[in-house]
Structures are given as structure tokens and as C-alpha cells.
Amino acid sequence: MQFETMNQALADAFPGDSAVLEGDGYKFQATVVSEQFAGKRTLARHKMVYAALDAFIKSGELHALTIVARTPDEAPAE
């Protein structure tokens, strides 16, 4: 599994934002906090994340993906 490469693909798609892929080799979660999501509905946000990871999905390296896509205003305070 190429977590570093997949995480870099997310970082490239959402530069300057928080974008992390975690998983156990079977189930994965992409958590992205980005201003790019402002004004977009959930489906549009998910399509943006899927687009960033498209090559890995098509190759079968990435499946069972859960997406958490929020704007900075929607993200829980740390």
C-alpha cells in the first residue's frame, strides 16, 4: 500500500489544506478540511476527493473509502 503516495495526491489536490488518508489496508478514511468545499454540497465535495484519488481507486489499491470533507468553519476545534 502506498500511503505516502496517496497522501501526496490528496495534498496536491488540496494545497495548503488539511488532507489525510488513513487505513488498515482494507478500510480507508480520507479526512479533508478545505476552503475549496465552501458552498458545495456533500456529493460535490466527495467527487473532489474521489478525483484526487482516482488512479488508486481504478487500480484497486484503494477501496472501502469513507470521506469526511469539511470547510475550516465546519471542522471541530482541536
pTM, rounded to two decimals: 0.91
What span, in angstroms and rounded, lies between the C-alpha atoms of 1 and 77? 31
Q: Quote the domain boundaries for residue 28.
A: 3-70
* Total domain count, the chain: 1
pLDDT reported for residue 12 = 96
Q: C-alpha distances in angstroms, 57 versus 20, 32, 38, 41, 73?
A: 16, 17, 25, 22, 29
In a domain, 56, yes or no: yes
In a domain, 78, yes or no: no
Name which of 63, 57, 58 is nearest 29 in CA terms. 63
**CATH code, 30:** 3.30.300.90
In a domain, 75, yes or no: no
In a domain, 77, yes or no: no
In a domain, 76, yes or no: no
Q: What are the backbone dihedrals phi and psi of residue 40, each rounded to the nearest 5 degrees, phi first? A: -105, 145
pLDDT in tens, the chain (78 residues): 588 899 999 999 999 999 999 998 889 999 999 999 999 999 999 999 999 999 999 998 888 999 999 999 998 876
* Residue 31: all three cell numbers together: 479526512
